[in-house]
Amino acid sequence: MNTTTNRAYNFNAGPSALPLEVLEVAQKELLDFQNTGMSLMEMSHRSATFEEVHNGAIERLRKIYSIPENYEVLFLQGGASLQFTMIPMNFLQQDQTASYVLTGSWSEKAVKEAKLFGKSVEAASTKENKYKNIPTVEDINFNADDAYVHITSNNTIYGTQWKVFPETGNVPLVADMSSDILSKPVDVSKFGIIYAGAQKNLGPSGVTVVIIRKDLLEKANTNIPTMLKYTTHADNNSLYNTPPTFGIYMLGEVLKWVENQGGLEKIAQNNEEKAALIYDVIDNSNGFYYGHAEEGSRSLMNITFRVADEELEKKFLAEAKAAGFVGLNGHRSVGGCRASTYNAVPREACQALADFMVKFQQDNQ
């Protein structure tokens, strides 16, 4: 437990830790936003006050990520899971194939949805290796006339992450970046679509960010429901219907925090150093702890590991919980342990976990 602020060491996979500074700003502004006499949650989404918040968040995201002008930035709802449906519904034409790279449960769910709308294939998969690694770029098989190639940039359940993104030429590269967006610099121009649920690195749950190239919008299918058309939201600045106003406000405050940290280069450095604290304990434990992901594919966002003895693993998780560490249980589908070290998880929490792991090993060998 962080006794200075009486806050838990939060390693939840999502919804996850938010920067303390952002929470303090929200607390201060909760009842009276900018002397309006109202909470932002009580305001019309058509008001000038909210419009400034909304557009400010879009522009700040454009600046931080150096998003080119030929891309739309959308704030949608439904999470990444709705994007699994919207992407093939909008962009998978009858005479085309969508290629999916399978690296975990979320990419499996994405391709399952795509198959409802047209021909979708596995361009590469590491399932036979229990999703312990990311495929090499050379392993990905797709055709020049494919509708798109879909990847999941970071895999929360298995703890793997793309280090180098594939080059797909004229075929749009689509990336679910829900769990590592804004964790490092990314060349947005290499992608046709980037999408991400906010609840890991961007803010609270309820907002989904979609960064989409404008020429794709011009080619999108039109005979689909209005709310599921990207053009509906692009044409209305994501205000076709009532948006998650408080979530967008919080997202904007998180983006301000990223800027105050020194931008994405500094954020990336911090994330590498935080993850190294925990991976070093695993690597130097002589097998007491062992990771799921192969070293070259390790995630800086989700550190998945096991304790060699099953009963000791249960004891580890119980004692860690008692010591103020939250969210260290692995995903229910795979078990084990998982430390999610997203942007807002402070170095102090990672150091505390590393120290706890060392002491637990010493006490239980």
Catalytic positions, written as ranges: 106, 176, 200
Q: How far apart are CA 223 and CA 42, in angstroms?
A: 35
The side-by-side arrangement of strands in the sheet containing 337-340 is: 289-291, 302-307, 337-340
Strands (DSSP E) contained in 93-214 are 97-102, 119-125, 148-152, 154-155, 160-161, 173-176, 193-197, 208-213
Helices 263-283 and 347-364, packing angle to 10 deg: 0
Longest dimension (CA), the chain: 64
**Residues 316, 305: Cα–Cα separation, whole Å:** 12
CB 275 within 8 A of CB 305: no
Nearest Cα to 209, choosing from 88, 61, 109, 18?
61
Under a CB-based contact definition with an 8 Å cutoff, are residues 278 and 42 in contact?
A: no
The DSSP code for 237 is T
Distance CA 200, CA 153 (A): 14
